[in-house]
Structures are given as structure tokens and as C-alpha cells.
Amino acid sequence: MPAKKIVILTDSSAHIPEKIRSELGIEVIPLWLIWDGKSLRDGVDIQKGTFYQRLKSSKTLPTSSQPSIHEFKEYFQKIGKEADAIVAILVSSKISGTIESARSAADELPEQEIHVIDTLTCAMGLGLIVIESARAVVENRSVQEVISIADKMQQSVYTLFVVDTMDYLFKGGRISGGKHLLGTALNIKPILHFDGGQIKPLTQARSKKKALAQMLDIVDERLAGDQMLEAMVMDVDAVEEGDKVAEMIHARFNPGRLGRAGVSPVVGTHVGPGTVGISFYPVHH
């Protein structure tokens, strides 16, 4: 009996580099940005270059929204024409309603085999889980194996990032007013991470340079003596800083695979320009 044809679907917040995405046949459903009354599909109607230029000069901040149940149904049905099973690996349910839409859509399509996975993370944290699951599909693994790889990855991928300003997280309702005031008054650069599916402050430093150095120390702690298997360094309109961090990661940890990525406009709107982050996992994951 031939193996089932499995297709991996993720959402645009993962922002997986195009080359990897097409090589592994990963499908993407865009999230929405609502800006000055206009609805734009993340990464389709608005690309990150245009987005950051506009963000710098705009008096208004865009808001984001998940794909609707109807949109998920259309994607599932379209993919279902080619696939025997769909594994939808999506952004944390604690920061987006995307999972909810996907599950409701899957419930309305009982004739299709659809598995929805809540990764409790975002950006390349989500991206790394998707990439590793897609590699398993390429290796002709079974649906159950793919799901178990995604679940295992979800528990071992870490995402840390340094933001330039708390303004965007505050305006987007992702952190409280008190934390925002403190950060702004002292020009503190916070180091944040995903914890239980939410963005939480981990620690802070007095300058960006110190914050980035401290972020690498935390990476070291999280590895707990294990080799870094794969890492992705992300930046929000801060390519040079991102490249520098990638060099530091390479020199210090020598990961099996090291990549560079941006973040999608939807994620960029919440963390703001100047953000630099890393998603990684150890060998023993």
C-alpha cells in the first residue's frame, strides 16, 4: 500500500524563508493585518519591506486578525484534493485565534483527515517545528510519526528576543502598562521569551549590546551542555544586527544548521522594528 500523501500547512506568522518553504512543499495560510480600515493578507498584500517603511511614518498601528473558519475550510478543501491527510501546525492559541478557526473548520469537514497542532509559539519557533515536521513528510514518515515529531519539537524549541522598545508590545496589548512605563523610563532593553504560549519578559539589560550578549548566555543555559542542532536568527528591520548575532551564535555554539529569517508583518507589528531574536533546539530533543 503506498504511503499516505501528507501536506503540512502553517500560517504566515511562521515566516519560513521562501527557499525552505518551496523545497519542503509547506503550504501557508496568511493572517490578516487591518490598517487604516483596509484588510491586507500578511505577506501577500503587504511585504515586510513596504510594511516597515509604512510603520515608521504611520500615525496608526495596524491590528492583526486570524484567518476565518471559512478561509480555513477553503484551504483544507483545496489541499485535500491532492492530500490524504493535512497536518496544520499553527501559531500559539494564547496569542491568536488561528487555532480556534482551524479546529472549527476541521470539524466541518469530517470526510477529511485534518490534524491541528497548537505549537504555543510563533515566528521561527513555529517555523522550526514546521520545517522538521515537513522533513519527516519528505522521508515518508506516517501521519502519527509526523504529529509526534511536531509534539516533541514543541517541547524543545526555545524562542528568545530582544526588543528595541516596549511601545509595540504595549500598544498591541501584549504587555501591561506598568512594565511598559518602567522600560521606557530607563531605556531598558528587555529580553522576552515564549512561556506557556505567551510572550513574557525574562530579564532586561541597560543597552541593546548587553541585552544581546545576555540573550546568548540564556541560550547557553537552555542548552544545558547539549549541542545546538538547529537555530534561526530573526530580525525585524535590523539585518546587520541579526547577521552579527548569527555570527556570534556560529562562533559560540556551532549549530548543525544555522539560518537567517525576517519576521512577518503581523509579528513585526507586535514587537516593532529593531527586534532581534533566536529560535533553536538542542540535539537531545
Which residue segments constitute the domains of the chain, with CATH numbers given?
6-31+66-155 (3.40.50.10170), 158-282 (3.30.1180.10)
Say what the pTM is: 0.93
Q: Give the pairing of strands 198-205 and 228-235.
A: unpaired
Q: What is the tens place of the pLDDT at every residue in 109-167? A: 999 999 999 999 999 999 999 999 999 999 999 999 999 999 999 999 999 999 988 77
C-alpha cell at position 147: 504529529
**pLDDT confidence of residue 204:** 87
Cβ burial 225-249 (10 Å sphere, 16+ → b, else e): eeebbbbbbbbbbbeebbebbbebb
Cβ burial 165-204 (10 Å sphere, 16+ → b, else e): bbebbbebebbeeebbeebeeeebbbbbbbeebebebeeb
- For residue 100, CA distances in Å to 69, 93, 169, 229 come to 8, 7, 23, 32
Q: CA neighbours within 13 Å on the CB side: how many for 268?
A: 30
**pLDDT confidence of residue 59:** 87
Work out the number of other CB atoms within 10 angstroms of the CB of residue 59.
5
Query: Is the distance from CB of 189 to CB of 208 less than 8 angstroms?
Result: yes
C-alpha cell at position 8: 503540512
The H or E element spanning position 141 is none
Work out the number of other CB atoms within 10 angstroms of the CB of residue 112.
17
Cα 114 from chain centre: 21
* Range of lowest pLDDT (32-36, 109-113, 149-153, 170-174): 170-174
